Amino acid sequence: MFSFLPAQRPSTLIEISSGLPASITLPSICFPKLFAAFLLSLLATPSFAQSEPPKSVERYTVTATRPYYDEALSRIFPQYKFDKKSLVSPLHTNDVLLQSPSVSLNGQGGQIQSINVRGYSRWRIQTLLDGVPIISDRRAGSSVGFVPSDFISSATVLPGAASTYLGSGAIGGAVNLQLESLQKSYLKVGYSSNQQMKAVSYAGTSAAYGSKNGANGTEKSGVTDWNISYRSANNGEDANGNTLLDQFEQTGLFLRHRPDNSIVKEAWTLYSDNNDIGKSSSDYPESRRTIYPDNTHWLGKIAFEDNLFAGNIWWHKSTLDTSVLRPGSRINDSENKAFDYGLNINTDTQLKDWDVNWQLQLSGREGVVADEREFTLTPAEIVMPNTAASDFSLGSFKSDLAYEVRTLDASEINTAAVVDASRQWQSLSLGIGTRVDWQRQSDDSSGSPTQPNEAQPNNAQPSRSQSTTNFSGYLGANYQLSPHWSASVYVSSAFRNPSLTERFFTGETPRGTVLGSTQLETEQALNKQLTVAYSAKHIQGSIEVFHQQIDNYIERITVAEDVLQYANLDSATIEGASYQVSWQSQDSIVDARLSGMWISGEDNLGNTIADIPANNQRLDVGVNWQDTRFFTVLSYRASKTDIADGERALSNVLTLDIGANWQLGEDIQLQASWSNLTNQRYYTSADDKAAFAQGESVQLAITYQL
């Protein structure tokens, strides 16, 4: 799977607009408690920030960095940034992304739950941390749960096919989390009642203490930021008080240095150690218990720039241990390791009236290894270590090693060249880009141990490799219809090479035995999107209609009882519409954001495909009053009855969160929120193994500026 770190250039102008009230219609609320709580929404503030088109009124000049592709795409359609203004620590990093109507939860729950973007999920979504690709060998896809939420300042979402810039992993879009830039050191302590979660973080910066260089006020020795975070949580409960397996313990360290007067503009590294992570599943506790005993991540980036070019070097080393207990039957343990790396160099130029960007990319994966062990449980007088027998009715068992096997040992290398061009003629803006991509995947196994008294499987032959060349591109145009209205069209092609797991894996998973296939073809997709946007002094927003077709769709199919294999399906189509509208009162006290999405997806035979989320609507409303800020979030998820194999029907649900931030003097900030206020019981996603969501919970946090 190809992915890369987008080069970043300084952006010196960010435009912010505000506007007039919008007419909002909400579903009727049939119980007094919810209605009374909703009245509090008249005293709240939304969690939304937008990078505006050129027609804004207020202008603020700041220094920031952004992916270089924004220079072209921002001319075609509006782009949105989501921050944490209406989110209270401790929270899940996914909560920042869920503010986008295009994003929903996917798969099963817990700390490493993955997301869905416009019906695409798993390996079809590219997740980035400050531009560094986060790649996972789990079929559920990558998760940002290993990143402490205090490290994150905001997030951007790029829905639709984006392979031209982001390669194979972005056939369905991408999300990028921005790391926090500290202005002042602080100590933060938080608590969440449902899981009895305890969180503490300490962040520091040298910016306030460094020596100055004369009148220009620049730092002589650069600026260094750091952040240390520790969080631990017990198992939570759903709305009926039933235990959820969502415990975890997490320790994180982030360090960044920005030199002064150097070709190296920034260097940062992040280490995260996660232990005893529970997988919240409907199988718990009777049928299956899945725990991730250890999940570590070490990643970093070095950004450099001179007068001719800019670029990045990045790396990501990860490990994930999994233990699946089937009470009274067996235990399956697996260990996954991988080292990912990349380099990109880009430059820009003017060709007549066109802004042209060029980029060369190199990335790879080494030591992608999965080892599996199975233990058979037999009655004994000895109780297994670290097993709560009372929770699983195991009684006393002993474990015997049944087999030990390496289920995956592979690597890959990618190279790509990207070019884009954009320009503007009065009211018309154009953007065009293309990519050529070459990838080689190799099976590095030389024969693996097999189950006792069994022969080597036929598909475990060594020295297998696959080479693939792909092309992708996009074309977009935006036309300014009037001072406030604009319309744009965006057509993009994309591809996704099968992952190393899909090609070469053979082993046991919580779903049963899974077989890879070297015969898989590359997925190909075409995305078409029409956007209408409005921007005025106090109101701005957009509505997008999209149609996405994907060929050679890869899915697991049943080939025998409890045996699945990856295979290409013919084709599938995903289509729908999404919208976002934000409003701010003239005095900047009250503001609101309304957003939502309608979506459907089916294959060429008319069958519903997996991972299509339920339609959703969301309202963020709030107020800033003196040094206090109140906010609320009202979310509606519609019912879902068109389901695919491995999914369950969903009923509609309406949830309410409220909260407030108080600035107590110059140095102390107090935060409080009440999530799932009406204690609704609903599944987190349509996955038939998904557990119920957490019931109501109170979060508290206090921040002391040092």
Q: How confident is the model at residue 454 (pLDDT cuts 50, 70, 90)?
A: very low
78 upstream amide cis, omega within 30 of 0: no
171-197 pLDDT, tens per residue?
Answer: 988 999 999 888 889 999 999 999 999
3-state SS record for 469-517: EEEEEEEEEEEECCCCEEEEEEEEEEEECCCHHHHHCEEEECCEEEECC
In the beta sheet, which residues pair with residue 417?
360, 436
Asked if 371 contacts 404 with a C-beta cutoff of 8 angstroms, the reply is yes
3-class SS shares of the chain: helix, strand, coil, % to 5? 5, 55, 35
405 close to 507: Cβ distance less than 8 angstroms? yes
pLDDT digits (tens, 9 = 90+) for 260-319: 888 999 999 999 999 999 998 888 888 888 999 999 999 999 999 988 899 999 999 999
539-551 and 103-106 beta bridge pairing: unpaired
Looking at the predicted structure, is the pLDDT value of residue 47 above 90? no
List the chain domain ranges: 8-705
Q: What's the rounded Cα separation, in Å, for the pair 687 and 689?
A: 5
First-to-last CA distance in the chain?
A: 44
Domain 8-705 sits in CATH 3.90.226.10 = no
Ramachandran region of residue 502, left (φ > 0), alpha (ψ -120 to 50) or beta?
Answer: alpha
What value does the mean pLDDT take over residues 77-101? 84
Cβ distance 72 to 431 under 8 Å?
yes
Which tens digits make up the pLDDT trace of 489-546?
999 999 999 999 888 888 766 667 788 888 899 999 999 999 999 999 999 999 999 9
Looking at per-residue pLDDT, the higher value among 449 and 386 belongs to 386
Can you tell me whether residue 528 is helix, strand or coil? strand
Can you tell me whether residue 119 is helix, strand or coil?
Answer: coil
- pLDDT, position 107: 84
Residues 517 and 628: their CA atoms lie apart, in Å, by 58
> CB within 8 A of 498, min separation 6: which ones?
441, 517, 520, 521, 522, 523, 554, 566
Helix (H, G, I), strand (E, B) or coil at 305: strand
Return the amino acid letter for 57.
V
Task: Give residue-wise pLDDT tens across range 379-400.
Answer: 765 444 454 433 444 456 777 8
pTM of the model: 0.83
pLDDT at 200: 96
Place of tokens 């609704």: 680
pLDDT (mean) for 23-51: 36
pLDDT for position 297: 97
Whose structure tokens read 């005095």?
587
Joined together, the tokens standing for residue 417 give 């060249």
According to the model, what pLDDT value does residue 273 have?
97
Contact yes or no for 442/171 (Cβ under 8 A): no
pLDDT tens digits along 584-617: 998 889 999 999 999 999 888 888 888 899 999 9
